[in-house]
């Protein structure tokens, strides 16, 4: 069945001419990113600003916040949404052992756990951090994943609903208002800079940034019952306000460096990197938990020409781990590599054949990113 080609330029409000940042490897096709007149992206500019921040002062702000919420009894006093990965694992562990808080980690289960992801999840719990695991109805989750792949161009959308909303649900359920996220992805990796100088995120930011303006309610039009979507939804706003839930970014209070988080977690939370690099990139320690991960990144490559190696190298250049030249050659080598390892698993999960899969993929290819040469699609603009 052919699928109608999507208008990516309009859907994501993208510039038609593809340009790459002069300082890192990201392009102007990342939704909401901006470039200055010198051709430098907003994430690189934020990175320069980050280096001038008085981090001692920020830590004092953190201490004030923690003292306000610190439990006087033995109860949990903050929530850390975490899969057991290096970033959230670092936040939970440091809050407990350096700042003497009593964090409860909240995990929204991956669609299909990888062995390494499951080990790291248990590793964090075994390092002394309690956890609540939320796992949605498997039958519904498969249907939602399929619908999201077809209609949103990202099979990860239902996972993102839970990732964003389940912590709020638990905040209300357990009466724990303080929620700690790791980094503010929008400012660290390029996006909306509205919250660049704020420690908190607003309740509606998720809808705009991560739900692609496609909140769970949209699934009702595909005959998914409201009661089957409840677990993916945020709690009622009145309940959130009654508790006074606050979502803070740890990256506002502490200099954020994913590689340093990795070193910290290998020492402290039993974190293990993968034995082999993730498909589509060169790294072994980021986003390892879900067998379907690769398809989220692959769709990003199809829609925006931005693959996993681009995202990884862009922030590693900013963090001064690699040079731009090294980044460019890593992008050329790995970006867009097809996630074949779990391809059959993915097709089975969403009950689809290969032919239909490629029809959907091609419906998300935009002519301003791709050209067809003979039978192959090629990127129009290559980084140099």
- DSSP 8-state class, residue 353: -
Cβ-contact 179, 167 below 8 angstroms? yes
Are 248 and 65 in contact by the 8 Å Cβ rule? The answer is: yes
| Spatial separation of the C-alpha atoms in residues 327 and 41, rounded to whole Å | 15
CB of 41 vs Zn ion, minimal distance in Å? 3
Q: Taking CB under 5 A as the rule, does residue 317 contact Zn ion?
A: no
Least Å from the CB of residue 184 to Zn ion: 16
**40 versus 347: smaller Cβ distance to Zn ion:** 40
Scanning 13-21, 53-61, 203-211, 217-225 for contacts with Zn ion by CB under 5 A, the matching segment is 13-21
Q: DSSP state, 235?
A: P
Q: Applying CB under 5 A, which of residues 44, 300, 328, 383 lies at the interface with Zn ion?
A: 44
DSSP string computed for 62-94: HHHHHHHH--SSSS--EEEE--S-HHHHHHHHH
Smallest gap from Cβ 218 to Zn ion, in A, equals 33
Point out which span in 22-30, 107-115, 149-157, 344-352 binds Zn ion (CB under 5 A). Answer: 22-30
Dihedral in degrees, nearest 10, Cα atoms 304, 306, 308, 311: -120
Question: In sequence order, which residues have a C-beta less than 8 Å from that of residue 348 and are 6 or more positions away?
Answer: none
Closer by beta carbon to Zn ion, 25 or else 88:
25
End-to-end CA distance of the chain: 38
C-beta neighbour count of 235 within 10 angstroms: 18
SS3 342: helix
**Smaller CB separation from Zn ion, 18 or 178:** 18
Task: Give all strands of the β-sheet with 246-249 in edge-to-edge order.
Answer: 130-134, 103-108, 78-81, 178-181, 246-249
Nearest-angstrom CA–CA distance, 168 and 241: 11
Region near Zn ion per CB under 5 A, out of 42-50, 65-73, 101-109, 119-127? 42-50
Q: Which stretch binds Zn ion (CB under 5 A): 3-11, 21-29, 245-253, 349-357?
A: 21-29
Binding residues with Zn ion: total (CB under 5 A): 5
Q: How far is the CB of 328 from Zn ion (least distance, A)?
A: 12
Q: Residues 35, 46: contact at Cβ < 8 Å?
A: no
Pick one of 8, 14, 18, 24: the residue that binds Zn ion (CB under 5 A). 24
How far is residue 373's CA from residue 367's CA, in Å, rounded to a whole number?
12
45 interacts with Zn ion by CB under 5 A: no
* Residue 104 vs 383, nearer CB to Zn ion: 383
Q: Least distance (Å) from Zn ion to the CB of residue 21?
A: 3
Contact 160, 210 (CB under 8 A): yes
Nearer to Zn ion, 215 or 307 (CB): 307
Nearer to Zn ion, 23 or 120 (CB): 23
Residue 356 in contact with residue 363, Cβ under 8 Å? no
For the CB of residue 156, give the shortest distance to Zn ion in the complex, in Å.
24
| From candidates 14, 18, 23, 188, binder to Zn ion by CB under 5 A | 23
**CB 181 to Zn ion: min, Å:** 23
- 8 Å CB contact between 145 and 111: yes
Our finding on whether 21 is near Zn ion (CB under 5 A) is yes
Q: Taking the complex as a whole, how short is the minimal distance between the CB of residue 43 and Zn ion, in angstroms? A: 5
Q: Among residues 24 and 306, whose Cβ is nearest to Zn ion?
A: 24
Q: Is 187 in the site for Zn ion (CB under 5 A)?
A: no
Q: Does 41 bind Zn ion (CB under 5 A)?
A: yes
Name which of 36 and 61 has its Cβ closer to Zn ion: 36
Which residue number, 43 or 109, has a Cβ lying nearer to Zn ion? 43
* Distance between CA atoms of residues 277 and 286, nearest Å: 10
Interface positions with Zn ion (CB under 5 A): 21, 23-24, 41, 44
């Amino acid at each position: 069945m052919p699928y109608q080609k999507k208008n990516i330029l309009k859907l994501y409000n993208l510039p038609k001419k593809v340009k790459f940042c002069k300082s890192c490897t990201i392009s102007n096709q990342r939704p909401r990113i901006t470039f200055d007149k010198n051709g430098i992206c907003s994430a690189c500019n934020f990175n320069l600003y980050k280096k001038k921040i008085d981090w001692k002062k920020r830590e004092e702000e953190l201490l004030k916040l923690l003292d306000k919420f610190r439990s006087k009894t033995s109860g949990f006093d903050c929530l850390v949404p975490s899969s057991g990965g290096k970033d959230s694992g670092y936040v939970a562990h440091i809050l407990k052992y350096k700042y003497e808080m009593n964090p409860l980690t909240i995990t929204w289960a991956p669609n299909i756990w990888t062995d390494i992801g499951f080990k790291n999840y248990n590793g964090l719990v075994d390092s002394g951090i309690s956890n609540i695991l939320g796992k949605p109805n498997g039958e519904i989750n498969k249907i939602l994943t399929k619908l999201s792949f077809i209609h949103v161009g990202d099979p990860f959308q239902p996972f993102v609903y839970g990732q964003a909303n389940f912590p709020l649900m638990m905040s209300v359920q357990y009466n724990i208002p303080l929620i700690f996220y790791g980094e503010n992805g929008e400012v660290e990796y390029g996006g909306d800079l509205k919250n660049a100088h704020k420690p908190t995120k607003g309740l509606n930011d998720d809808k705009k940034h991560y739900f692609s303006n496609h909140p769970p309610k949209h699934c009702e039009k595909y005959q998914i019952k409201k009661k089957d979507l409840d677990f993916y939804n945020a709690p009622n706003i009145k309940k959130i306000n009654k508790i006074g839930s606050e979502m803070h970014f740890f990256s506002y209070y502490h200099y954020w460096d994913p590689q340093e988080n990795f070193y910290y977690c290998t020492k402290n939370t039993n974190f293990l990197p993968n034995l082999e690099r993730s498909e589509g990139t060169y790294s072994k320690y980021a986003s390892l938990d879900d067998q379907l991960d690769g398809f989220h990144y692959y769709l990003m490559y199809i829609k925006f020409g931005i693959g996993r190696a681009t995202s990884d190298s862009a922030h590693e250049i900013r963090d001064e781990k690699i040079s731009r030249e090294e980044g460019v050659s890593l992008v050329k080598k790995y970006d867009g590599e097809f996630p074949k390892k779990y391809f059959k698993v993915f097709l089975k999960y969403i009950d689809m054949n290969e032919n239909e899969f490629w029809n959907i993929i091609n419906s998300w290819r935009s002519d301003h990113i791709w050209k067809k040469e003979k039978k192959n699609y090629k990127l129009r603009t290559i980084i140099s």
